[in-house]
A and B are shown apart, each in its own frame.
Chain A
Amino acid sequence: MRRSLPGATVVVVGLLLLLDYVIINPVLATLADLVLELVVLLAAAAALAGGVALVLRHWTELVERRGNPPGSLALLAGFAVILLAGFYPGSSGSTDPAVRWIVAALLAPLIAALFALLFVFLLGAARRGLTIRTREGALMLAAAAMVVVLLLPLGGSAGDWLASAADWTLSVPIGGAFRGLLIGVAIVTAVHAARVLLAVNGAEE
């Protein structure tokens, strides 16, 4: 009974939401809305607790001079600035111009700069891939090089041929492999969801 109670709860809630999705019924809709609101409140409470834990952890590290004090200071300062912008008297919250400015002028460029590192790290990953997994790494890099060559911006008949070859490569071999991977992932995701719902545990070691 102790083990089956969480599983039963998951099954009942899952069935309730599924029925609400399929059948139009005011009672079902009310119950489903109630459950969803509870979930939202729970996630929001967890997010608040996570934020508090994050601040406490970095505050402690800053005070005790452990870990990375400059990093902790930057995190706490950022936290304070965004809270100040969203909660000052008269602020309109997340739509306040100050918050929008912080997001557009600071956060978005920071994120863009972070993702701009991808190109550099990709080269590093290619080198590491050749070191740790020679055969697969070489095969993957050879395929990548081939795709780069096919996508070269060339004119004339050679360019047309390369463009059509690139289209065929992307839609047939690469597309086929990608779709196969997606279908496999979709099947095992469904199987895993069923296992979670039915509380089927993993094998004994």
Chain B
Amino acid sequence: MPNLGELIGSLVALIGSQVAASSLRLGPLPAVTIFSVGLVLLSLVARPATRWTTRDLGRLAGIPRAMALAAESGAAAGFSLGTAGVARATSAFDRMQTLAALPILGFVARAAASAGVPLQVTANDPVTVHLAEAVLAEAHRSTQTPERAERSGAQYLGEGRPAVAGMTLADPSRPEATFVAGGLAEESLLLFEGTLPGASWTSVGTAAASQAASVLLTAEGALIGPELYQASSDLRAAGHDRTGVLASNRLILAVIAVLVIGSALALAAGVDLAGPLAGR
């Protein structure tokens, strides 16, 4: 029976013999290139921040100054999380953009909380609104400004892309600093027209390739295509897991309310609420 030393010795010998029997099929340079591509991809996943930053993406570096100016003028800031949401019936590409926008919202919310600027977040998906509220709460916790939390909030504008565009166009308030980040489609220009004019600081980001022209034409700070994710990676986030837990706590309350209301309706009037809700 071989002992441990003999086992390790045989393994090393096996590896050595295999290495000795091998040769590079494509030569040194192509082999190094192929391995490098794998390493770069792994690095992209494992390393949160981008390695090379050549410019201020989306003018995000100037957000603290924008918030300071808004605080001086006593104005508010607005942030639209796009129209894709995370629980709406849209493509996964669109929904992922909403998740990518949350770290940017967190960055803006921390700057707004520090400067004492009310930040109003809008979305057309209730789950996204809960996530936004969690991000705002986390921003006030991390900046130790809980007394300012009540002035900021997230608002559900209604279901559908046209509803958001119409509600935004009809909203008379014009924040001093305005941000739009997330999934957008053909309603993007309407959304921008309702949010951006009158603001002294505008920044827009979306990975929707078809909306690149609208973004470039309307906002001073633009995050186009992959830049939305790049900027999102460069910012310190509360972490999607923490945001998810905070939002889940709020959602649990909503679920309990629905359960209580549904049970009461079933007992009182024999109405089955679960069936229509689950689409049965």
Contact = CB atoms under 8 A, between A and B. Distances in A.
| Chain A interface, DSSP helix/strand/loop, else mixed | helix
A22 interface: no
Interface residues of B, number: 74
A90 interface: no
A203 B239 contact: no
Nearest to B129: A50
A150 B241 CA distance: 51
A198 B103 CA distance: 16
Given A45-B255, A46-B87, A110-B166, A178 B209 contact: yes
Contacts of A48: 254, 258, 277
B103 A202 contact: yes
B237 interface: yes
A140 B222 CA distance: 14
Contact of B217 (A40, A42, A68, A126): A126
A14 interface: no
Contacts, number: 189
Contacts of A160: none
A155 interface: no
B187 A115 contact: yes
Nearest to A184: B226
Interface stretch (B2-10, B12-20, B28-36, B92-100): B92-100
Interface stretch (B44-52, B69-77, B174-182): B44-52
Interface of A: 3-4, 6-7, 10, 37, 39-51, 53-54, 57, 68, 71, 75, 93, 110-111, 114-115, 117-118, 121-122, 124-126, 128-129, 132-133, 136-137, 140, 144, 178, 181-182, 184-189, 191-196, 198-205
Interface of B: 41, 44-46, 48-49, 87, 92-93, 96, 99-100, 103, 125-127, 129-130, 155-159, 162, 165-166, 169-172, 186-187, 189-190, 192-193, 207, 209, 212-214, 216-220, 222, 224-226, 229-230, 232-237, 239-242, 244-245, 251, 254-255, 257-258, 274, 276-279
